Amino acid sequence: MAEKVGADITLLREREVDYDSDRNCRKISEVLVRKVPDDQQFLDLRVAVLGNVDSGKSTLLGVLTQGELDNGRGRARLNLFRHLHEIQTGRTSSISFEILGFNSKGEVGNINNIQSIIQ
């Protein structure tokens, strides 16, 4: 049914609820049906990340947008630095704008090795 309207279905949950008179298992499923409107190629959502000094804001953004885990010494945030003094001190002093893309199924689209992060 979803294919006819060009939508994607993702199974969120499936549960056995009962048995019928022939002892066949009955199930209930929770699914997510998602369709991107034809006139809207992408949705633009901006998220601000706030926190105390050394709380991991830049590291989190680096891991999410670059697809590499941090090595414990700030490697994930290196691609976010804009100025030489940020690299030298290890502290971000500028506002950055990073893009994290998702497809219509809700999967991350701009990271090739996302499976290594998830595992």
pLDDT digits 0-9 by tens, 5-31:
778 888 899 999 888 788 888 899 999
* 80 three-class SS: helix
Residues 6+ apart with CB under 8 A from 36: 42, 43, 104
Domain segments of the chain: what residues? 2-34, 57-118
CA–chain centroid gap for 103, Å, is 10
Q: Determine the pLDDT at residue 80.
A: 79
- Give the β-pairing of 8-19 and 25-34: antiparallel
pLDDT band per the 50, 70, 90 thresholds, residue 40: low
pLDDT digits 0-9 by tens, 60-80:
888 888 777 878 877 777 777
For the entire predicted model, the pTM comes to 0.55
The percent of residues in the chain predicted with pLDDT above 70, rounded, is 84
